[in-house]
Chains A and B, each alone.
Chain A
Amino acid sequence: MMIEPITVGLIGIGVLAVLVVIGMQVAYAGALVGLMGIVVTIGARRVRDTGDFWDILDKGWQPGLLNAGTIPFSELAHYSLSVLPMFILIGYMAFHARLTQGAFYCMRMWFGHLPGGLAIATVFATAAFAAVSGASTATAAVFSRIAIPEMLRYGYPAGFSAGVVAAGGTLASLIPPSGILVIYAIIVEESVGKLLMAGFIPGIISAIIYAGSIMVRVKLNPALAGDPIGKVTMGERVASLGQMWGILFVVAIIMGGVYSGIMTPTESGAIGAFVVFMLALKNGMNKSQFLAGLAESAKTAVMIITIIWGILILVRFLGFSDLPNVIKDQITSLGWNRYWILLIILLMYAVLGMFMDAIGMLLLTLPLVQPLVIALGFDPIWFGIIVVKMVEICLITPPIGLNCFVVAGVRPDIPLGSIFKGIWWFFICDVLTVALFVAFPNIVLWLPNNMLGK
């Protein structure tokens, strides 16, 4: 009996699921299943009909091993990957560059007079900080320290204030520099620059929708808004922009560099990191903070690099087994409306996100989901933004809702329950935002399609 590659593929996916559930690291589980799968599919091809399993292993072992052994070098030594460590470095250095305070101060000047003004200012300040940080949890942690005390002082309810910060933190995943968008680009082999550009407008729109929802809620329930802040003149507002120059400069470098094509994303990231590093030095970052930040950056970079090579071994095996194509053909042959299939995929992410963190979830599913999505006629860049938006939703929904935990970690006086209660309006906003991007894909695609650098 001949072993069909597709059978091997299905068994592999089953074994992978078991290994991941029992808590094996995603990178090693992917590599183990991938390597064994490569060995068996190559072996089965060589042995043909004899079908003895040991024979298959014997014939497939050497070539399979050699094949998988090339991946850690050949798949990692890619220029496009080098942008990731730069973005990670920017994120860690931004902590010490004191960009948060300026952003909050400036946004407070501009938006503080609106109903729920401090909450709105917090949302826009997190969006601004997101432009120098790709990490949602870090953004939530910083603003818990800065914005929550201020909101509480003006009489905003604690759960509401905490919810604003937890939700605002998620904007970092979309607004460049965003680590998760780069990882998506690498796994599905799309342009890193285009994905980074694509995240910008949806990030801003998410922030505007959050801000709008705050205004609506305050209108419905004036008790939510605290006391108004004092009067601010236009002159003071304009002057407050000076507090933002660090962030604006980094935005100009990263967005400008990538959009115009005069720099690669890596180069834009490197110069951005250098500027943030200099700002941190100027603001008194000491040696131990610098070394700790650098060691943490390295650890995060290693974690991402490891999961990438691990999953790419799995991806090669899936390619050999033809499973992604078979799944794609089976589902497209059902003849369902493609938006129903998209809805099912998005619901799957919403459920998976309850059990797994974003990187693991994306890397485990995209090799199978991506070909299907393309076959359904959706744009891969657009889908990246939609998926990352789903990841953001998982950051604020129970049971994991990491951002809510982070806020509770910084503010142990605010109970987790009240933070989750404060968040559900933002959850509805996110669902509406995803629906908006599905209905009008050009919101996402306009900027990447018009960028000068390709």
Chain B
Amino acid sequence: MVMPVSDTPFAALDRGYHAIEKALNYVAAAFLFSLMLLACAEVFMRKFFNSPIHGQADLVEIMIPTMGFFGLAYCQRLAGHVRMELLIHRLKGRALWIFEFCGNFATILIVTVMIFGTSQNFWNAWTLGDSSMDAEIPVWPPKLIIVLGFCLLLGRCLIAFVGYVRLIRHPDAEPIGVPISPTVADVAESEAEVARDAIQDEIDETRIKGSDK
């Protein structure tokens, strides 16, 4: 009996890994929302109580790379990064997977090298005790998060590596563990989907309020 693809250990690994990525993306989202609250609180305190929040600007600055690296692997899995799809979307079957494999392989190279580069940077901050300019917040935690973000991305790229090898061997198999890059029509469809979800009730109201015909 042939096992359904969704039950293979590889598919389970992909799903499990994606659950972690998704959770960490929510951490990034939480940072984003906190950034908003922090900036609002700063304006409030400064304008109404004349007492700006100490170290607010430093915190805001540190939050950006933190946010950016918590969500890095998630964005990769969902093919969220900008790229030129002109050629890729014209290819089919094995040729497509070979090109994707090459791009992914080059990504593995740069991510691996960046892990070394950024971990040295983290190590310096850790041993020298670097901190931010005003509030003297230690900067090693965000630098560590950058290294960990790269490591998680590397794991994602390695899963994709296996996925592409599998697809090069069996080009017609169902893609597992590889980001599927959306076509222009897919992007349009997902935008339409969100608009449908959000606007449905509004349209009914427009009909009642805005029309006299």
Is B148 positioned at the interface, with any CB of A under 8 Å from its CB? no
Question: Known contacts A21-B86, A35-B114, A303-B82; is A85 also within 8 Å of B67 by CB?
Answer: yes
CB distance from A414 to the nearest CB of B (A): 12
Check B84 against A355 for contact (C-beta < 8 Å): yes
Is A417 positioned at the interface, with any CB of B under 8 Å from its CB? no
Q: Across the two chains, which residue of chain A brings its CB closest to B39?
A: A270
Task: List B contacts of A81 (CB < 8 A).
Answer: 64
Tell me the number of A-to-B contacts counted with CB atoms below 8 Å.
Answer: 291
Check A360 against B84 for contact (C-beta < 8 Å): yes
CB distance from B145 to the nearest CB of A (A): 10
A141 to B154, CA, bound (A): 35
A26 to B79, CA, bound (A): 12
Check A31 against B110 for contact (C-beta < 8 Å): yes
Which of A137, A269, A306 is B68 in contact with, Cβ under 8 Å? A306
Check B32 against A298 for contact (C-beta < 8 Å): yes
Check B67 against A301 for contact (C-beta < 8 Å): yes
Check B211 against A303 for contact (C-beta < 8 Å): no
Is A86 positioned at the interface, with any CB of B under 8 Å from its CB? yes
A31 to B107, CA, bound (A): 9
Check B65 against A101 for contact (C-beta < 8 Å): no
Task: List A contacts of B121 (CB < 8 A).
Answer: 66, 69-70, 73
A69 to B86, CA, bound (A): 31
CB distance from B89 to the nearest CB of A (A): 9
Task: List B contacts of A410 (CB < 8 A).
Answer: 191-192, 195-196
Residue tally, chain A, CB below 8 Å to B? 92
CB distance from B182 to the nearest CB of A (A): 11
Stretch at the interface among A145-153, A156-164, A338-346, A437-445: A145-153
Check B110 against A85 for contact (C-beta < 8 Å): no
Check B195 against A95 for contact (C-beta < 8 Å): yes
Task: List A contacts of B118 (CB < 8 A).
Answer: 69, 72-73
Check B199 against A230 for contact (C-beta < 8 Å): no
Q: Which of A85, A96, A154, A273: most chain B CB closer than 10 A?
A: A85
Check B198 against A68 for contact (C-beta < 8 Å): no
Q: Across the two chains, which residue of chain A brings its CB closest to B210?
A: A105
Check A72 against B65 for contact (C-beta < 8 Å): yes
Is A45 positioned at the interface, with any CB of B under 8 Å from its CB? no
A273 to B35, CA, bound (A): 11
Check B65 against A28 for contact (C-beta < 8 Å): no
Is B103 positioned at the interface, with any CB of A under 8 Å from its CB? yes
Question: Known contacts A229-B213, A270-B40, A305-B64; is A409 also within 8 Å of B80 by CB?
Answer: no
Check B84 against A138 for contact (C-beta < 8 Å): no
Is B168 positioned at the interface, with any CB of A under 8 Å from its CB? no
Is B158 positioned at the interface, with any CB of A under 8 Å from its CB? no
Is B136 positioned at the interface, with any CB of A under 8 Å from its CB? no
Stretch at the interface among A203-211, A386-394, A399-407, A424-432: A399-407
Question: Known contacts A69-B120, A105-B210; is A23 also within 8 Å of B60 by CB?
Answer: no
Map CB proximity to A onto B28-70 as digits: 1 under 8 Å, 0 otherwise: 1101110111111011000100000000010011111101111
Check B203 against A89 for contact (C-beta < 8 Å): no
A106 to B150, CA, bound (A): 49
Is A322 positioned at the interface, with any CB of B under 8 Å from its CB? no
Check B210 against A408 for contact (C-beta < 8 Å): no
Is B128 positioned at the interface, with any CB of A under 8 Å from its CB? no
Check B61 against A149 for contact (C-beta < 8 Å): no
Check B196 against A306 for contact (C-beta < 8 Å): no
Q: Which of A81, A230, A270, A284: most chain B CB closer than 10 A?
A: A270
Stretch at the interface among A213-221, A244-252, A289-297: A289-297
Q: Which of A70, A298, A300, A400: most chain B CB closer than 10 A?
A: A298
Task: List A contacts of B198 (CB < 8 A).
Answer: 95-96, 142, 289
Is A237 positioned at the interface, with any CB of B under 8 Å from its CB? no
A266 to B33, CA, bound (A): 13
Is A65 positioned at the interface, with any CB of B under 8 Å from its CB? yes
Name 25 interchain pairs, CB-CB below 8 A, sorted by A. A68-B114, A68-B117, A69-B121, A81-B64, A95-B195, A104-B210, A105-B206, A138-B191, A141-B192, A142-B195, A270-B35, A270-B37, A274-B37, A295-B25, A299-B78, A302-B67, A302-B80, A303-B80, A305-B64, A305-B68, A309-B68, A355-B84, A356-B86, A409-B185, A409-B189
**Additional A-B contact list (6), CB under 8 Å, known A95-B194, A294-B32:** A22-B88, A66-B121, A266-B60, A297-B32, A301-B67, A307-B81
Interface residues of B (CB under 8 A from A): 22, 25-26, 28-29, 31-33, 35-40, 42-43, 47, 57, 60-65, 67-72, 74-76, 78, 80-88, 99-100, 102-103, 106-107, 109-111, 113-114, 116-121, 139, 142-143, 146, 181, 184-185, 187-189, 191-192, 194-199, 201-203, 205-206, 209-213
